[in-house]
């Protein structure tokens, strides 16, 4: 019988099967552990190292354990086999002597066999060989299919297969399990004058099984302990490497958070120390560059502030002098009178321009502060509308306000008022005397104000340009409010400062709309505006008038992606309805001049 067959038999031994069953719950636990690991797999290098160490070493331990176990089992069985053979030889000699002249077909054959077996077992109980081979039982029977069977001993425990295969002069062996008891069965043929007898020795393998079981459990326990120890070692070792890395990550995070003095501690001269050194160098040069930039910023601010002061003081003097002249203009000659009037009005413009320039340079320098407080937006919008009511009545424009009360927003009232004032004044300028509608609505996340006029509107592409500094359409029309050309630029910066949107829409001949959307809370995020930007039925309207489809150009808040104060990357398309796609060649070239109203600075 081959070695392979032996092993297969061994695997059928109950001990091995039991060990297999014991691995079941362990595997379930490993599964649960796996779920846990998956959760934090990507987050912990330590875990990853420990788990892979565990996985690899359990494979090694498993293979090692299996090899060891089969090796031990084989050794056990082969020594048993040796002893069994020796015993079988001895027993055969004894029996051949006993049964020489035995004929199974004679009367009393049964008794003779019983007697011979008894004799055999008795002899060997006291024999020297029995100590090596241990307990055994013997059975005798005539060959199968050769006359009536005469047998003695536990011949039932021998398989028919073995009995029929057994030939004279050879020794057969088989492992056979009956009633939970595995035996090594050795068969031989005993030549007698009559029919040949088959002689079997049955060696129980209880002892070997017990030993194997012990070895198995020792291996399992030893393997598990080894695995735990390995995991612990891996964890410890990894921690040695990971801890400095974690420290480095923490330091880098704090550094990124603005603590530019954060440095890693350099210990020893190993790789971690080198990492710390190069990190510290990097941090140092970054901090130096940031400091330099901050210095530049501070210089810029100083310069702005100095220019402001230096310009404003003489301007104040000129202003006062002009006003004194203007106050007594009735006493002056007509040319002088007109001059004093021009002087005063142009000084107004000059002041506005200066104030706007300073404001925009402050916004550019990032030093503009958001004086946010909780305000009722409708009150602020109403105030802004009141501020330009004079302008509206001069232009014969009706201001139609639709402002629901109680829309509370965290915003800078000064800036919001300036934005709305700019928008409304702009609408009056370009509304051609048609009513200007100011609408407000809110949703849980944001509040929007739309200023809509029905004037000349905007040509395709112009909605993108209206927020540019000093931008004016080529054909400038009546400018009632004057304006510095910076009003809408300041407004969009003000909106950005709030984390809000300012967008423009317009169609030639169909008017334009500007929408301001502010988040309810400072730092809040807007995903959609509560109000549509364009008219709900812009396309239908223009169709009804027999005009060609105009253009509706939504202006996403420029630069929202790059502004440092919000850090959000979204630049969502503003939801706007009704308008058709811009069709440049279709659009009639109507003037859409965007002279901008000055916000009057921040005084």
Q: How far is the CB of 388 from other proteins (least distance, A)?
A: 14
Compute the distance between CA of residue 462 and CA of residue 553 in angstroms, rounded to an integer: 8
Please state whether 461 falls in left (phi above 0), alpha (psi between -120 and 50) or beta: left
x-marked contacts with other proteins along 365-384 as a string, rule CB under 8 A: --x-x-x--x--------x-
Q: How far is the CB of 601 from other proteins (least distance, A)?
A: 7
Q: How far is the CB of 448 from other proteins (least distance, A)?
A: 23
Binders in 314-353 for other proteins, by CB under 8 A: 314-317, 319-321, 323-324, 351
CB under 8 A: which stretch of 83-91, 177-185, 220-228, 595-603 binds other proteins? 595-603
Please state whether 521 falls in left (phi above 0), alpha (psi between -120 and 50) or beta: beta
Q: Is 453 in the site for other proteins (CB under 8 A)?
A: no
Binders in 457-516 for other proteins, by CB under 8 A: none
x-marked contacts with other proteins along 289-308 as a string, rule CB under 8 A: ----------------x--x
User: What is the chain's percent helix, strand, coil content, to nearest 5?
Assistant: 55, 15, 35
Nearer to other proteins by Cβ, of 171 and 408: the residue is: 408
Size of the site for other proteins (CB under 8 A): 25
Q: Is 585 in the site for other proteins (CB under 8 A)?
A: no
The total of other beta-carbon atoms located within 10 Å of residue 370's CB is: 15
Please enumerate, as own/partner, the contacts of 295-299 that have beta carbons within 8 Å and a separation of 24 or more.
297/365, 297/366, 297/367
Q: Is 400 in the site for other proteins (CB under 8 A)?
A: no
Binders in 141-170 for other proteins, by CB under 8 A: none
Find the angle CA(101)-CA(105)-CA(111) to the nearest 5 degrees. Answer: 75
Q: Is 527 in the site for other proteins (CB under 8 A)?
A: no
**Burial class, 319, CB count within 10 angstroms (exposed 0-12 / middle 13-18 / buried 19+):** middle
CB under 8 A: which stretch of 362-370, 396-404, 444-452, 509-517 binds other proteins? 362-370
Helix (H) or strand (E) holding 5: helix 3-11
Comparing CA positions, the residue from 446, 448, 429 lying closest to residue 438 is 448
Comparing CA positions, the residue from 422, 423, 412 lying closest to residue 380 is 412
Nearer to other proteins by Cβ, of 41 and 303: the residue is: 303
Nearer to other proteins by Cβ, of 280 and 305: the residue is: 305
CB under 8 A: which stretch of 93-101, 138-146, 180-188, 310-318 binds other proteins? 310-318
Tokens of 270: 């190993």
Beta-ladder partners of 446 = 519
Nearer to other proteins by Cβ, of 6 and 315: the residue is: 315
What does the radius of gyration of the chain's CA atoms come to, in whole angstroms?
A: 51
Nearer to other proteins by Cβ, of 380 and 438: the residue is: 380
Q: Is 600 in the site for other proteins (CB under 8 A)?
A: no
Q: Is 25 in the site for other proteins (CB under 8 A)?
A: no
Beta-ladder partners of 513 = 452, 505
Give the binding site for other proteins (CB under 8 A). Answer: 305, 308-309, 312-317, 319-321, 323-324, 351, 354, 362, 367, 369, 371, 374, 383, 601-603
């Amino acid at each position: 019988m081959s070695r392979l067959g032996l092993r297969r038999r061994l695997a059928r031994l109950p001990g091995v099967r039991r060990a297999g069953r014991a691995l079941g719950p362990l595997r379930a636990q490993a599964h649960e552990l796996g779920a846990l690991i998956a959760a934090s797999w990507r987050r912990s290098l330590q875990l990853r190292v420990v788990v892979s160490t565990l996985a690899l070493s359990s494979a090694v331990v498993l293979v090692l354990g299996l090899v060891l176990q089969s090796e031990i089992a084989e050794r056990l069985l082969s020594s048993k086999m040796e002893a069994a053979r020796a015993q079988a030889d001895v027993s055969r000699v004894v029996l051949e002597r006993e049964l020489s002249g035995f004929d199974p077909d004679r009367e009393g054959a049964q008794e003779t066999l019983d007697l011979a077996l008894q004799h055999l077992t008795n002899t060997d109980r006291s024999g020297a060989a029995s100590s090596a081979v241990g307990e055994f039982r013997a059975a005798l029977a005539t060959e199968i299919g050769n006359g009536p069977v005469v047998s003695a001993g536990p011949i039932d425990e021998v398989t028919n297969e073995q009995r029929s295969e057994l030939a004279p002069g050879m020794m057969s062996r088989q492992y056979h399990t009956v009633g939970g008891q595995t035996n090594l069965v050795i068969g031989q043929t005993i030549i007698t004058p009559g029919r040949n007898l088959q002689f079997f020795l049955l060696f129980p393998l209880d002892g070997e099984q017990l030993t194997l079981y012990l070895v198995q459990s020792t291996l399992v326990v030893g393997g598990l302990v080894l695995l735990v120890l390995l995991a612990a070692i891996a964890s410890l070792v990894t921690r040695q490497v990971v801890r400095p890395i974690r420290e480095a990550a923490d330091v880098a995070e704090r550094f990124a958070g603005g603590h530019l003095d954060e440095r890693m501690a350099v210990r020893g001269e190993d790789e971690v120390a080198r990492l710390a050194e190069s990190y510290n160098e990097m941090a140092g040069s970054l901090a130096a560059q940031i400091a330099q930039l901050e210095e530049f910023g501070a210089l810029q601010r100083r310069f702005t502030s100095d220019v402001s002061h230096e310009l404003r003081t003489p301007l104040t003097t000129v202003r006062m002098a002009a006003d004194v002249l203007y106050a007594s203009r009735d006493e002056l000659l007509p040319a002088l009178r007109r001059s004093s009037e021009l002087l005063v009005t142009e000084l107004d413009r000059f002041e506005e321009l200066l104030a706007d320039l300073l404001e925009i340079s402050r916004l550019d320098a990032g030093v503009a502060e958001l004086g946010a407080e909780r305000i009722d937006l409708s009150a602020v919008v109403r105030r802004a509308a009141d501020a330009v009511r004079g302008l509206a009545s001069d232009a014969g424009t009706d201001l139609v306000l639709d402002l629901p009360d109680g829309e509370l927003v965290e915003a800078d009232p000064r800036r919001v008022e300036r934005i709305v004032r700019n928008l409304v004044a702009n609408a009056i300028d370009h509304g051609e005397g048609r009513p200007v509608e100011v609408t407000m609505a809110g949703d849980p996340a944001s509040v929007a104000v739309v200023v809509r006029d029905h004037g000349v509107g905007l040509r395709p592409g112009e909605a993108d340009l209206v927020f540019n500094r000093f931008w004016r359409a080529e054909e400038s029309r009546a400018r009632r409010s004057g304006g510095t050309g910076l009003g809408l630029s300041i407004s969009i910066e003000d909106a950005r400062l709030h984390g809000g949107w300012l967008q423009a829409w317009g169609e030639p001949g169909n008017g334009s709309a500007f929408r301001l959307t502010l988040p309810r809370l400072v730092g809040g995020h807007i995903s959609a505006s509560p109000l549509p930007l364009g008219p709900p039925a812009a396309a239908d309207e223009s169709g009804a008038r027999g005009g060609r489809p105009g253009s509706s150009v939504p202006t996403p808040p420029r630069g929202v992606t790059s502004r440092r104060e919000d850090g959000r990357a979204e630049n969502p398309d503003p939801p706007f309805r009704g308008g058709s796609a811009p069709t440049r060649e279709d659009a009639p070239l109507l003037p859409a001049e965007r002279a901008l109203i000055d916000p009057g600075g921040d005084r």
